[in-house]
Structure 1
Amino acid sequence: MATDNTRKHDRTVDVLVVGSGGAGLTAAATARAAGLEVLVTEKDSVFGGTTATSGGVIWIPMNRHAQKLGAEIGVSDSIENARLYLENETGQYIDRDRIEAYLASGPVMVDFMERETEVKFHAMEFPDYHSDDEGASTIRSLGTLPYDAGKMGPLMKRLKGELPQTLFMGLALGSSLEMKNFMKAGRSVTAMGFVVKRMIRHFRDLALHGSSQSIVRGRALIARLAKTLDDAGVEIWTDSPATELLTEGGRVTGARLTTPDGVVTIRATYGVVLAAGGYPRDRDRRRENHPGITATMEPVLPVPMTNTGDGSRLAESVGGRWNGHVSTAAAWMPTSKLPGATDFTGVWPHLVDRTKPGFIMVTPDGRRLVNESQNYRDLIPAMLEKFEERGTDVAWLVADARAVKRWGIGFVRPFPIPKGHYLRNGYLKSGRTLEELAQVCGIDGAELTATVERFNGFARAGDDLDFGRGRTKYERHHGDDEHKPSPSLGALEQGPFYAVRIYPGEITSYKGMATDVHARVLGHDDQPIPGLYAVGNDQANVFGGAYPGAGATIGPGMVFGWRAGKHLAEEAGKRLPGVAGETERLAAE
């Protein structure tokens, strides 16, 4: 069993992986499965990266789980459909070679990981993010099965935790079934019974083990990958950022790390894989690459504080080419923050509340600004456009008492969890009437009242004539299927009324290093830099800045992490178990 307790010293390995998220650990596991000696180094004091705090979902068209689910529910799909959908998604930013590599390798990667590692997935019926576009499907996303903490041993102490703000009394909700039951607990005896049983198991785990023994979502994906590596003798060095790449004759041959034991030189015989999480917290890079106020504002992000663009800086230092040819700079996410928040633990990603009946978003002029139920990647560009048009940088998520009781709002949990703390600290604003709420928030009260009256008319009729909210399969999926006539539209009628300020946040950056189909970093001459790879958010987004479906960041991270590991193995004259080199089948066949 590999540990991180021994003194770190200069050494030579076959492959060095910089970063311990899903992309980096997939590259490491793939190379190790081919028999290569691998070392993983991580800047943070815990391993897991952004993946560990994510949903652990990957978007892989035509994977075997999807095909089985499709047969069961009568939904068909094909690589041709996926290709058409991605052509529409990426538009002028399409990179056909990498798209084809992604489509071909995705299903192969899934089979390989489930065969050769601890990783296990499950099918999800989840609409693509532009669900009504040609080629879209509902069966391309895969979730990660929970993992038993008891199997982790000493690794558990260094496994990154879930976002603490999203936990309920220390419990992370794994499945959509758990989420639905916890949301309904305040109004359903059956749901409350489910929650009570689940909490009893959770408290038993706390008493016996000090934490829940069910690792879920993105953390389960990381746990499964880390356990695979640990069993294979691969070390993950934490608190050990890479600060310099080593080169000989134009080839990257290793890196220098700053470790608790001092500066250590690692020689990498076949290559270095950069998987350091992109640049969402690099203020200089943001000023150069982000649009509107996101270029200069203090970022309000639920991502690790260590994602400061290290991978890109390392790659550029040896001649790597930056690729900003994408439709948008980031995978956007509407967020809110607690007063005085200083890191990601004080930031809430608004995935659920804004898509439910009884919520709208407005600017200080009292007018709506976006389709609140659209996917999060599209919502922020629309929000930034209205900010510029209206001369503001403020938006509010507004709801009535009924909606907040049913769904919560940001950090505020649904009934029966008290919300007084958030009213007292100023995170949650309230007013007995819309006019009173408007006064508290600095919103035009007359216009807000008129906006809500107009929206309420749309809600009762079941059709949003201003923004078309609730018209797509994706938006209806994220609404409330018990609400009529539209699962997405609900009138704001019952006071008191509540509001939380919304910021243009993100879950990762999309611009990054130019890479080829094997994830090799390209130089300014568009030729691969020997021995250097970039995966995950250190490489420019394969979808050209688009977000086709749930899992469209971790999916590419794992696919190109796998392709990097596979190419490194072939460079060493080895083959992956069960994978026939470059003769792997095209998923279309």
Structure 2
Amino acid sequence: MREGDHHCDFLVLGGGAAGLTGALAARLAGLDVLLAEKEAWLGGATALSGGTVWLPASHVLERAGVADSCEDGLRYLEALVGPGRDEVDRERMKIFVRESPAFARFLDDQGLALRHARGWSDYYAELPGGREAGRTLYCDALDLRALGEAEEWLAPGALFSAAHSVEVSTMALGIRSLAAARAALRVAARSAKARLTGARTATRGKALIGRLLLAARRSGVVVWRGTPLVELIVEEDRVAGAVLDRDGKRVRVIARRGVLLATGGFARHAGLRQIHQAPVGVDATMAPAGDMGDGIRAAANAGAEMAMMDQAWWVPGTKTPAGPMVHVWDRCFPHSLVVDVAGERYMDEAGPYMEVGQRMIARHAALGTDHSWLILESRHRSRYAFGMAPPMVTPSGWIESGYLIRAGSVDELAERTGLPLQRLCDTLDRFNAGARAGRDDDHGRGSKAISRYYGDRRVRPNPNLGPVEQPPFYAVRLYPGDVGTAGGVRTDLHGRALDPALRPIAGLYAAGNNASGIFGPCYPGAGASIAPGMLFGRRAALHAAQGGAE
């Protein structure tokens, strides 16, 4: 043993949801666990997210009166991914579904306080096995005082700090919805209670990370913050540990049972995005600044195979003067549409965000551009939230900077955006005629349960369709944004990293955005990126605890 070496059973690199879950599971299995996070704060991309998990056949669904089964969950996924897709790991997908019920109970047993996001449907609920009630779960609010000194380990500040994800999306409808009013009252009551009691309330991704951290600390997981990975230690064809940068000094950490890479994706690494995802760059991502592909590059140096490097968790986004902003629900509201730079519609704007992002990428490649145009009219701005801007509130800086173009007529809109006037007029005429009838014969907008969930039910017969005809009109460049990348280390059923011959690399595991996604380019429902990362982080830990046997 070299002087200064640190020894543990299991080394976890990355303090997001996958890493914390793996560390917790390993510690509960009796291992001596060290978790190293390169940033000062834990949470990674999950802390910035809605903090939901998509888990079929859970006891939480049963408790909420939603009938589900593993068989239906797998039937839905098989229908979604379809046949003949090599990028879909069907065996890992089956394991995920089969273990989801037990995993949900594990999380609840560790204090995650899971609740059902009723109505937040599967994104393709119309497929066999889909559920309109949804399979998405979220954590109850957490009083951060429970963390003690570790409260400082979570990044300060959060949007809608007292609102759950399911409430945020509902409140975006403003005064148009009784459900939005009820959600606003719940959030106001929660905030008032926090003020009266002195509670520091966290919801969404921060609540999920906070509850995982509370459980990990309670179990005895050791956490080193501000400790980035330098390189993996490979000895005799086995990953034996890692060299870390701790307080400016190189520290060799030897991990007897293995290393779990959970350092996130590469959404902020311009070079990797140029290689794998050009022309998409780093300026429309909502991933944290540290999402630099550290674990992915270290695994590649250790001989690991990569998969799905061209994919991200796509969400249509815009580039505001203050930075990127994603658009989950506002593009689904009536009185809006998306056109390409030729002035034509080419997709269901209210469709699932990952699919919309993929359609944008394909269309932009065909036209040699990097953006489309999201067009709104006056009723959209007066009735609904746009991004983080409430109804009837359009920041003056958006107009002055040119981020948001405002026009008094279609002619002016075409002139200021560079869209061909006649094509734009033809597109609007056809769209508006269908909207008045409540039909989108071209792309089926409003035909999906998830679209209707985000729609305005006061608009009939289609809650996602309204004409775009009353000035002023607004237009903003729309890009394929993301909340992180979806490609990374190829892994097996135990979360072990695989080499190009698909042989496990001894001692090396990967989970979360550090690993390739299990559903290929498909996204079944809200929380479908976080949940597999957590579940396979736990599987990796249990495999290591059992000595790495098959």
TM-score norm. by structure 2 comes to 0.92
- Aligned runs of 1:488-503 on 2, under 5 Å? 488-503=464-479
Aligned partner letter, 1:18:
L
Tell me if 1:443 matches 2:443.
no
- Give, as a single letter, the amino acid of the residue that structure 2 aligns with 1:144: C
SS of 2:279's equivalent in the other structure is helix
> Does the 8 Å CA contact 2:177/2:456 hold for their aligned counterparts?
no
**Deviation readout 1:393-438 (Å, 9 max, x if unpaired):** 22111111111121132343223x4532322233221011222222
What's 1:331 paired with?
Answer: 313
CA distance in 1, matches of 2:432, 2:510: 49
Tell me what 1:176 maps to. 166
Q: How far off its partner does 1:46 sit?
A: 1.1
Query: Which one-letter code corresponds to 1:390 in the other structure?
Result: L
- What is the alpha-carbon distance in structure 2 between the residues aligned to residue 215 and residue 448 of structure 1? 45
> Which of these residues, 33, 39, 61, is aligned with residue 66 of structure 1?
61
Q: Confirm or deny: 8 A CA contact 1:400 1:495 kept in the other structure.
A: yes
> Cα RMSD (Å) of the superposition?
2.5
1:371-386 residue pairs with structure 2 within 5 A?
A: 371-386=348-363
Q: State the partner residue of 2:495.
A: 519
The answer on 1:564 being equivalent to 2:540 is yes
Match of 2:147 in 1: 152
> In the aligned structure 1, how far is the partner of 2:357 from the partner of 2:300?
29
Stretches of structure 1 that go unaligned for 5 or more consecutive residues are 1-8, 574-581, 583-589
Distance in structure 2 (CA, Å) of the matches to 1:234 and 1:42 = 13
Q: 1:43-62 residue pairs with structure 2 within 5 A? A: 43-62=38-57
What amino acid is the match of 2:543?
H
1:145-170: CA deviations, max 9, x gaps?
111122122222220246x5xx25xx
Q: Which residue does the alignment assign to 2:279?
A: 293
Question: Using a 3 Å threshold, how does the CA distance of structure 1 residues 472 and 151 change in structure 2: closer, same or farther?
Answer: same
List runs of 5+ in structure 2 lacking aligned partners.
none
SS at match of 2:526: coil
Could you tell me which residue of structure 1 aligns to residue 287 of structure 2? 303
Give the SS at the match of 2:513: helix
Deviation at 1:447, TM superposition (A): 2.7
Deviates more, 1:484-493 or 1:391-400: 391-400
Contact 2:284 2:319 (8 Å CA) reproduced? yes
Hey, what's the Cα distance between the residues in 1 that align with 2:238 and 2:89?
A: 26
Cα 1:298–1:108 change in 2 (3 A) is: closer
The answer on whether the counterparts of 1:52 and 1:161 sit within 8 Å (CA) in structure 2 is no
2:82 pairs with 1:98: no
TM normalised by structure 1 equals: 0.86
Deviation at 1:172, TM superposition (A): 5.0
8 A Cα contact 2:334 2:466, kept in partner: yes
Residues 1:198 and 1:509: Cα distance change in structure 2 (over 3 Å): closer
1:263 is paired with a residue of what secondary structure? Answer: strand
1:317 is matched with which residue: 270, 294, 301? 301
> 1:4: which partner in 2?
none
Offset, 1:529: 1.5
Residue matched to 1:78: 69
Residue 78 of structure 2 aligns with which residue? Answer: 87
Amino acid corresponding to residue 479 of structure 2 in structure 1? Y
**Residue 78 of structure 1 aligns to which amino acid in structure 2?**
S
Q: Hey, what's the Cα distance between the residues in 2 that align with 1:391 and 1:42?
A: 40
Partner residue, 1:424 = 400
Counterpart selection for 1:478 from 442, 454, 467: 454
Q: Residues of 2 paired with 1:114 and 1:527: CA distance?
A: 34
Q: Quick one: distance in 1 between partners of 2:189 and 2:139?
A: 24
Give the structure 2 partner of residue 282 of structure 1: 269
Within a 5 Å distance, the mapping from 1:32-47 to structure 2 comes to 32-47=27-42
> For 1:367, which of 335, 339, 344 is the aligned residue?
344
Q: Does residue 241 of the first structure (1) align with residue 236 of the second (2)?
A: no
Question: Are 1:336 and 1:410, in contact at CA under 8 Å, matched by a contact in 2?
Answer: no
> What is the DSSP-based 3-state SS (H/G/I as helix, E as strand, rest coil) of the residue aligned with 1:36?
coil
- The SS at the match of 1:142 is strand
Change (3 A) 1:562 1:499: same
- Partner of 1:587 in structure 2? none
Q: Are the structure 2 counterparts of residues 454 and 189 from structure 1 closer, same or farther at C-alpha, using a change threshold of 3 Å?
A: closer
Separation in 2, partners of 1:462, 1:190: 22
Once the two structures are overlaid, the 10-residue window that deviates more, 45-54 or 468-477, is: 468-477
Q: 1:354 to 1:207 in 2, by over 3 A?
A: same
Q: Is the 8 A contact 1:182 1:195 kept in 2?
A: no
Aligned length: 542
Helix, strand or coil at the partner of 1:398: strand
* CA offset digits 1:293-344 (Å, max 9, x no partner): 22xx4441000121111111111222222234x8x622211111123x5xxx
